[in-house]
Amino acid sequence: MIAYASRTGNVKYIVSKLKVKSIEISEGLMLTEPYLLFTYTDGLGDIPVKVARFLDHNANHCKGVVVSGNSNFGHAVFGGAGDKIATTYQIPLVRKLDLRGYQADYEAIQQYYETRVTG
């Protein structure tokens, strides 16, 4: 399963490119099965508040994080939410995508999912 948060539609688009059941993160969502987290980066490299709240109750089932960002903000903050999630929650950072990413990104994420989440 994929759990995702999307603000501008980029993350939702990325998720739609994968052949995986998905659910948008909402207040109070609790997952009891392994999942891959997709998120955007807030501000200048921050974890979105709703994603942090979700992880506070669901991090134990998370097998990796994919983050979308904008490389125009610079390397120091690009996909910063993914870096912070990896460090704070001890979750592997799978991929940082510039905006909607590319086909090669989708293929790499699909492969990771099949081997590390459902495998």
Selection from 92, 86, 24 nearest residue 64 by Cα: 92
With cut-offs at 50, 70 and 90, classify the pLDDT of residue 115: very high
Return the CATH number at 51: 3.40.50.360
* pLDDT the model gives residue 29: 98
User: Range of 91's domain?
Assistant: 2-25+33-117
Q: What's the Cα-to-Cα distance from 68 to each of 7, 12, 80, 89, 90, rounded to whole Å?
A: 11, 10, 9, 18, 19
What percent of the chain has pLDDT above 70? 100
Instruction: Name the amino acid, one letter, at 33.
Output: E
* 32-43 pLDDT, tens digit each: 999 999 999 999
* 4-44 pLDDT, tens digit each: 999 999 999 999 999 899 999 999 999 999 999 999 999 98
* pLDDT the model gives residue 14: 96
* pLDDT the model gives residue 84: 97
How many domains does the chain contain in total?
1
* 47-101 pLDDT, tens digit each: 999 999 999 999 999 999 999 999 998 989 999 999 999 999 999 999 999 999 9
